Structure 1
Amino acid sequence: MTSVNALSTSWSDDEVGVMHGLRDWAMASDELNRHLSTWMGLPVSDAEALGQIVWAAQSGSPVSPALLARQMGMTSGAVSVLIDRLERAGYVTRHREGDDRRRVVVRPTATALEGTERFLGFAGAEVAAAVRETPDAELRVIRAFLERMTQAASAANTRLRDAPASTRIDA
């Protein structure tokens, strides 16, 4: 991927529009997550984690506490406390998997699945319709673009995580 100085580059109206659209989607998605937290009676971070856990389980790749910590930008200890809260609320269970039984994954309970399905049934109709109404060729272009954007953001996040403290503003 080509390196571009974001501050000195001249941006086209379409490029600016795309960046604004991504920001607007991120903000709308974040608001939906806050509504999910209210719906499920959870703090926002717990609802975000529950969404990640449900999504992972439904895609056939249950999430480990370590992966959840990375996804959430939290320490392993903080995620362990968060998972404990979700377990006490009856929304997740921990499972030991694999031949040596050392690998732990977090799975949603039937209660969590039912609650999130009811939420999506109530709140997801417009998003689902927008995706379903988008032509396949357009979806492929959007998907490829989003994959590039995710890779770029992941690379930036890795660079920021690994940056020496001396490069930070508060250093």
Structure 2
Amino acid sequence: MPETVNPTGAGYWYRQSLETVGGVDVLNSLRAYRAAEAAMRRRTRDSMGMNETDLLAIRYVMRARQAGQSIGPKDLSRFLKISTASTTALIDRLQKGGYLLRRPHPTDRRALEIIPTDNADREVRETLGTMHQKMLDAAEALTSEEAATITRFLQQMTRALEADR
């Protein structure tokens, strides 16, 4: 069940004061969004019968294909930060499921290329298309000033989280 925004603005980590009212509300709203997104990812995994790594792999391969890039098993291993043996098992599983294909690399005879199937593209669009359109509609309803502020905030949050690595 998604987390809801605490109406008082206070939370476990953040104590409410006149100086923190807006900031705490923003962080609580961000937490609620993250919980809703995690629930959506679970529903997507369940409906497609996949685990998180499978979905990440398909998304990575589809983005590479859309960008005109050729990727192989080593690229997928590096992206997912998994062993080559785990990558082989993942590709085997996704190929058996009709989501990915291995084929000879177009310019390197020694290498393989991984590409998404038309079925993968169709299933991802059917599963996530409506939700992504709703998200795009919400983002496009923002004024350019609001979009700039939210973008700057999310970039700052990303940097704050990445600084803790």
The interval holding the TM-score normalised by the smaller chain is 0.5 to 0.7
TM-score, normalised by the number of residues in structure 1: 0.65
Q: CA 1:58–1:25 in 2, change beyond 3 Å: closer, same or farther?
A: farther
Residue type at the aligned position of 1:87: Q
Deviation at 1:130, TM superposition (A): 0.9
Residues 1:136 and 2:136 are matched in the alignment: no
Rounded Cα–Cα distance in structure 2 between residues aligned with 1:85 and 1:29: 25
Q: CA 1:100–1:67 in 2, change beyond 3 Å: closer, same or farther?
A: closer
Match of 1:121 among 110, 115, 129: 129
| 1:74-117 CA distance string (max 9 Å, x none) | 44443432222111111123456585567766432110110111
Rounded Cα–Cα distance in structure 1 between residues aligned with 2:108 and 2:65: 21
**Equivalent residue for 1:34?**
42
Q: CA 1:39–1:56 in 2, change beyond 3 Å: closer, same or farther?
A: farther
- Larger C-alpha radius of gyration, 1 or 2? 2
CA contact (8 A) 1:63 1:106 kept: yes
**Equivalent residue for 2:89?**
81
Aligned length: 151
CA contact (8 A) 2:14 2:24 kept: no
Which runs of 4 or more aligned residues in structure 1 lie more than 6 Å from their structure 2 counterparts after TM superposition?
A: 7-11
Q: CA 1:8–1:147 in 2, change beyond 3 Å: closer, same or farther?
A: closer
Deviates more, 1:54-63 or 1:24-33: 54-63
Residue type at the aligned position of 2:39: E
Where do 5+ consecutive residues of structure 1 fail to align? 1-6, 158-171
CA contact (8 A) 1:95 1:106 kept: yes
Q: CA 1:136–1:41 in 2, change beyond 3 Å: closer, same or farther?
A: same
Q: Counterparts in 2 of 1:143-154, with a 5 A limit? A: 143-154=151-162
TM-score, normalised by the number of residues in structure 2: 0.67
Deviates more, 1:70-79 or 1:15-24: 70-79
Where do 5+ consecutive residues of structure 2 fail to align? 1-12
Please, what is the CA RMSD of the aligned residues? 3.5
